[in-house]
Chains A and B, each alone.
Chain A
Amino acid sequence: MKFAYVPLATRRPVYSLAGAQLRYRPLIPLQVNGVHGSRLFDCSLDSGADDTLFPEQLAKILGISLTGPPDEGEALPVAGRPITYAYGRISLRLSDGFEACEWETIVGFIAAPLVWPILGHAGFLQFFDVQLLGDRHEAVLIPNASFPGVTHPRPLSP
């Protein structure tokens, strides 16, 4: 599956990007399913994150059961205080409009505000071989041998 990076404007020219006023980010839309329905969320591919994390409010909206202590995660945000988060089992669906992958997994739900849900190793990146094509502003994801769900490949051309 291929996803173009999402262009987001900046207020000021970005010195590290030779004065560009757009940042291209590897955001991909993921469908999160719960007992009360589903939501589509643009999520950030983040190879620096150990867990996959969603906002805690989403668990409430979708009726997803969460773990309590001691089965919690803990993270240290940049320049922040350690925060704990609960885990929940959910069903996810990823599609670029041509192919689709569906699987169940365990992710974290964090009360701290997130700009984007974080697609970290556990629950997401572990199941895909990922290429970030910086020059083309494109992310390529291929489910790997450990992918635990169902894939719907691109139909063959006639």
Chain B
Amino acid sequence: MEMHEYLSNRQHFPAGELEKYAGQYVAWSPDGKRIVASSDNLEALDREVRAAGEDPAQCVIEGVPAYDSVIGASDLQQKRT
């Protein structure tokens, strides 16, 4: 993957689009333009990424917080309802 390309595109992804993944991990496409898969379990996320035809080693994993304020990056909470 081209890290510079990923960082640039990730920065311009609509922030509101991520809300539906609250409380989960998402895997980004290598170019940072789209979300390939999501799960609250890393092993399941790996499987989903492969099922989508991508290489898990090339997709940045990012946690989407379940709450508006995070203290110390702890507690990946359940998906928002």
Contact = CB atoms under 8 A, between A and B. Distances in A.
Interface of A: 3-4, 6-12, 14, 22-23, 25, 27, 29, 37-42, 44, 46, 48-49, 55, 57-58, 60-61, 77-78, 80, 95-98, 112-118
Given A55-B42, A96-B4, A97-B5, A42 B74 contact: no
Contact of B3 (A14, A27, A80, A97): A97
Contact of A115 (B4, B58, B75): B75
Interface-central residue, B43, B60, B61, by most chain A CB under 10 Å:
B61
Identify whether the interface residues of B are mostly helix, strand, loop, or mixed: mixed
Contacts of A6: 10-11, 62
Contacts, number: 109
Range, interface on chain B: 35 or more
Interface of B: 1-7, 10-11, 15-16, 18-19, 40-43, 46, 56-66, 68-76, 80
A11 B80 contact: yes
30 contacts: A6-B11, A7-B15, A8-B18, A8-B65, A9-B16, A9-B19, A12-B68, A14-B68, A14-B69, A23-B69, A27-B62, A37-B57, A40-B58, A41-B61, A42-B62, A42-B63, A46-B72, A46-B73, A57-B43, A58-B42, A61-B43, A77-B72, A97-B2, A97-B5, A97-B6, A97-B7, A113-B40, A114-B74, A115-B66, A117-B73
